């Protein structure tokens, strides 16, 4: 199944990459590799994540490392809504 990423999720991923890179470039590259691998797994198993009705109808989650990926499954593709650092107040950040 195709995985599409919203602008907001792309901005989340860029911000996380930049933050990690500011401390350790190799860790930032590792973050990108783990995230991409996790999204490929999600593509193969789109219904594997538990539902998160607190974020809206049909929203599911997948934890990849320390990143919480919130997504929706449509008939022919997956939409990544957000990619948030799981250590933050996710509910508040999701509403931004």
The pTM score is 0.89
Whether pLDDT at 73 is above 90: yes
In 1-96, where do the E strands start and end? 2-5, 59-64, 67-73, 77-85
Strand duo 2-5 + 77-85: pairing: parallel
User: What domains lie within the chain, and their CATH numbers?
Assistant: 2-95 (3.30.2310.20)
pLDDT, tens digit, 9 for 90 and up, residues 15-66: 999 999 999 999 999 999 999 999 999 999 999 899 999 889 999 999 999 8
Whether pLDDT at 2 is above 90: yes
Whole-number CA gyration radius for the chain = 13
């Amino acid at each position: 199944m195709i995985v599409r990423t919203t602008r907001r999720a792309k901005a989340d991923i860029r911000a996380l990459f930049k933050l990690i890179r500011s401390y350790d470039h190799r860790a930032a590259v590792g973050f990108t590799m783990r995230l991409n691998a996790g999204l490929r797994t999600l593509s193969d198993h789109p219904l594997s994540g538990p539902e998160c009705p607190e974020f809206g109808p049909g929203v599911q989650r997948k934890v990849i490392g320390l990143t919480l990926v919130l997504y929706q499954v449509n008939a022919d593709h997956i939409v990544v809504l957000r990619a948030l650092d799981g250590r933050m107040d996710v509910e508040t950040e999701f509403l931004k």
